[in-house]
Amino acid sequence: MSYPNSGTPVVLVPGQAVTLKLQKPSYMGSAADYIWMVPGDDYALASYYGLFTEINGYIYVSLTVKASYSSAKNMRLYILKMSDYSYADTTGLGIRVDSSAYGSHYSADMATEICDSRGSYVPTFIYDPSKSAADALIVFDNGAGVGSLECSFGGTSVDCLNTSAWPSDWASKKLTISGYNRCGTSTSRTF
């Protein structure tokens, strides 16, 4: 798939995880100098930003749509320069999340291609219980995507990505996050 790309968006459905294989843009020297970002994702994605995996002239981006997301949303994925966090281009790549698209959604998942080089790279987390549940947990993708994430609030375990399932007193409880990247490597963090 080419990047930037103004054509038909990549259509994803709730609960789907996919790794996209993109042709590395000509302006990009080392992918390590850039991050990907999906601004204004309306809380549809497990992670809205992260690191690229670069292999043989291609860059890989893993996107996981929250199973609890029930709206239809158009958004764009962009490349940002880490030196000044400016957009490397203004076209990006169209992404559409649509629960009515089951059966016609994008299915060319390239996760196996990233696991040899990035399999040990697990997501990292920023947690701020003073914010609303929707904004309290930010997940950063370190290059191998986001698989399942379980949140244990004082012993009550729920899907981290479904904030409506969080206990009403979540902000006052100790949080332990347990989860996996798309390659099956586990991670755990307590706040």
- Write down the pLDDT at residue 145: 97
Overall pTM > 0.85: yes
Query: Which helix (H) or strand (E) is 112 found in, with range?
Result: helix 111-118
Give the Å distances, CA to CA, from 168 to 43, 47, 109, 163, 189. 19, 23, 36, 10, 21
Q: Could you list the mean pLDDT of each consecutive 10-residue stretch along the chain, which spans 191 residues?
A: 95 97 95 96 96 96 95 96 95 96 93 94 97 96 96 97 96 97 97 97
SS3 184: coil
Q: Residue 11 has what pLDDT?
A: 97
Q: Quick one: pLDDT at residue 43?
A: 95
pLDDT at 86 (0 to 100): 95
What are the CA-CA distances from residue 40 to residues 9, 47, 134, 169 (Å)?
Answer: 16, 12, 13, 27
Residue 45: its pLDDT value, please? 97
CA distance 101 to 173: 38
Each residue's pLDDT tens digit, 140-175:
999 999 999 999 999 999 999 999 999 999 999 999
